[in-house]
Each structure stands twice: as C-alpha cells, then as structure tokens.
Amino acid sequence: MLGNTFYNSIVKRNSVYVSTIFLGAFTFGVGFDVAVSSFWDRWNQGKQWKDIRDKYVQDADS
C-alpha cells in the first residue's frame, strides 16, 4: 500500500524521481547543517567569537 503510493507518486516518472532525489539532498544538507550548528553553538556557548564580538564592535561594519 505504502509502497504503491511511493511508486506511483515518485518513482514512476523519472523526472519526478530525479528531482525528488536532488531536492531531498539539498534539504537534508541544509537541515543537517542547521541541526549540527545549533548543537555546536549550544555546546560552545560563550566561547566563540560571535558570542563576544558585540562587546568590541563599534559600528555596523565588521
């Protein structure tokens, strides 16, 4: 049942199949990066440059 839906909606047309794979890879890449980065920033809270830079930056630039 699930397999049939999967086949009919995605695998049946090669154009849909290929674009699903490419879109899935793109979204996974972005999502994975966001997930790892959020863990990373939580783990290293207060240690990274972005956590302390507002103490030193004067203007809008840099």
Q: Cβ 58 to other proteins, closest distance in Å?
A: 7
**57 backbone φψ class: left, alpha, beta (φ>0; ψ -120 to 50):** beta
Q: Which residues bind other proteins (CB under 8 A)?
A: 32-33, 36-37, 40, 43-44, 47-49, 51-53, 55-59, 61-62
Which residue in this structure is represented by tokens 């086949």? 7
- Comparing CB distances to other proteins, the nearer of 13 and 53 is 53
Q: Cβ 22 to other proteins, closest distance in Å?
A: 18
Structure tokens at 27: 């979204």
Beta strands in the chain (DSSP E): none
Q: Cβ 43 to other proteins, closest distance in Å?
A: 5
